[in-house]
């Protein structure tokens, strides 16, 4: 007689075995891969884990200011945004808030101390905040505290860098110290770079660390940092990673690219008579938007040559000595090649991919953060708490 019950019984037993495992158990024999910040249009300060300052969305094609608001307590770090257009803000005081796509506060929670880095949106839709008390706090998108863990930083009060990881957690850097957290905020590993860091990024599942002195180091999934090359000069304005290259402004006048495989460095542009700064906003790698003399957007082609230069000041196209003490312009780009720029004391500027420039009237403030993209809008935020929502003109 055929035992036809063996097949169904085996399937039933297999299902029972699977259900008997913890829901959060992982098969350590298999490669685990997750999407970095899957719901985020701006997951961290540099928009994503590559620090490219390049949005996955497209900027409004006919931008105009549609919302103006001010949040109490000021703004302490660059805001981040999810796919629904919500903004997550850490205030100048010890507080975190979520605003909806129209700038209305949906929730606000007090923090144990001020944030030392811009918030990070993880792939689990959690908001990670690093505090000056040396803690990592994880909040749900509804504002509920999910986890609270101490960080092993020797000087937690200094400003930190934070980006998401492919595993859904985060990488945090303070000085030369780097820690990796999982999606629950638990410590995965701790590393130390050869010097104080100006940038951290993720490339092909490896951690890229760039020191202020220009050394570039790489840490694989389970290894320590290994030096892969050097820019041969100071890299103080951060760096971006794309197409196997690290791109950065070196010594304030060189636009350079370092190959992560060979360690070789190529100087794309050397502007001895011009001061260049970042962080860069990448276009089609290695094309990028840089800052020239603090107040000009310098659009560079793939060969490093300048294709356009636009002043962030409406007064004139020349350099205004009165603005010398202001902070340098901050820029981001979109997937079509448009550029959004802000600078202290000047209205925000949007450059189309075709080269036309539009100034958004009455959006100036003394201390702006980099623009924040959402699916259908751009947000311009100021340390004072001012927020300007920019979207397409009504038909």
Q: Position of tokens 């144990």?
A: 112
What number of H helices and E strands is found in the chain? 1, 33
In degrees to the nearest 10, what's the CA dihedral of 282, 286, 289, 290? 110
C-alpha distances out from residue 221 to 54, 119, 230, Å:
25, 23, 22
Residue 389: strand, helix, or coil = strand
pLDDT of residue 395: 46
pLDDT of residue 3: 42
pLDDT of residue 326: 65
Cα angle value 276/278/284 (rounded, 5°): 100
- How many angstroms separate the CA atoms of 371 and 382, rounded? 10
pLDDT of residue 314: 75
Instruction: Please name the residues in contact with 154: beta carbons below 8 A apart, sequence gap of 6 or more.
Output: 174, 175, 177
Residue 217: strand, helix, or coil = strand
- How many angstroms separate the CA atoms of 170 and 288, rounded? 26
Burial class (CB in 10 A: 0-12, 13-18, 19+), 159: middle
DSSP 35: -
Q: Phi, psi (5° rounding) for residue 360? A: -95, 110
Cα angle value 147/31/121 (rounded, 5°): 35
Q: Phi, psi (5° rounding) for residue 83? A: -70, -20
Question: Is 85 in contact with 101 (CB distance < 8 Å)?
Answer: yes
Q: Which CATH class is domain 34-392?
A: mainly beta
- How many angstroms separate the CA atoms of 158 and 242, rounded? 28
State the Rg of the chain over Cα: 22
Cis peptide leading into residue 279 (ω within 30°): yes
Cα angle value 312/90/148 (rounded, 5°): 145
Regions in the chain scoring below 70 on pLDDT: 1-39, 315-326, 393-395
- Which tokens hold the place of 315? 């007064």
pLDDT of residue 331: 97
Single pTM value for the model: 0.86
- Give, rounded to a whole angstrom, the gap between the first and last alpha carbons of the chain: 76
């Amino acid at each position: 007689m055929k035992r036809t019950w063996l097949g169904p019984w085996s399937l039933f037993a297999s299902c029972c075995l699977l259900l008997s495992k913890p829901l959060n158990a992982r098969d350590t024999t298999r490669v685990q891969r997750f999407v970095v910040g899957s719901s985020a249009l701006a997951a961290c300060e540099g928009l994503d884990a590559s620090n490219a300052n390049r949005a996955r969305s497209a900027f409004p094609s006919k931008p105009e200011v549609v919302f103006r608001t001010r949040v109490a307590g000021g703004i302490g770090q660059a805001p981040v945004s999810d796919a629904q257009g919500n903004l997550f803000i850490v205030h100048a005081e010890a507080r975190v808030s979520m605003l909806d796509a129209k700038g209305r506060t949906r929730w606000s929670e007090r923090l144990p101390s001020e944030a030392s880095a811009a918030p990070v949106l993880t792939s689990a839709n959690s908001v990670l905040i690093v505090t000056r008390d040396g803690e990592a706090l994880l909040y749900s998108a509804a504002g509920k505290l999910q986890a609270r863990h101490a960080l092993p930083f020797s000087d937690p009060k200094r400003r930190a860098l934070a980006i998401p990881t492919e595993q859904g957690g985060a990488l945090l850097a303070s000085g030369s110290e780097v820690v990796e957290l999982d999606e629950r905020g638990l410590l995965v590993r701790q590393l130390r770079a050869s010097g104080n860091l100006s940038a951290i990024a993720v490339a092909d599942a490896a951690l890229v660390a760039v020191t202020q002195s220009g050394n570039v180091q790489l840490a694989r999934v389970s290894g320590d940092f290994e030096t892969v090359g050097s820019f041969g000069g100071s890299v103080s304005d951060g760096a971006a990673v794309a197409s196997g290259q690290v791109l950065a402004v070196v010594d304030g006048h060189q636009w350079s690219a370092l190959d992560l495989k060979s360690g070789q460095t190529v100087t794309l542009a050397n502007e001895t008579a011009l001061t260049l700064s970042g962080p860069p906003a990448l276009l089609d790698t290695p094309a990028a938007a840089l800052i020239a003399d603090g107040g000009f957007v310098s659009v560079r082609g793939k060969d490093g040559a300048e294709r356009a230069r636009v002043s962030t000041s409406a007064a004139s196209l020349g350099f205004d000595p009165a603005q010398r003490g202001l902070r340098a312009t901050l820029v981001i780009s979109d997937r079509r090649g448009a550029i959004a720029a802000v600078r202290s004391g000047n209205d925000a500027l949007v450059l189309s991919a075709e080269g036309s420039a539009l100034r958004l009237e009455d959006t100036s403030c003394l201390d702006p953060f980099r623009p924040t993209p959402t699916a259908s809008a751009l947000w311009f935020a100021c340390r004072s708490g001012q927020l300007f929502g920019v979207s397409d003109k009504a038909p």
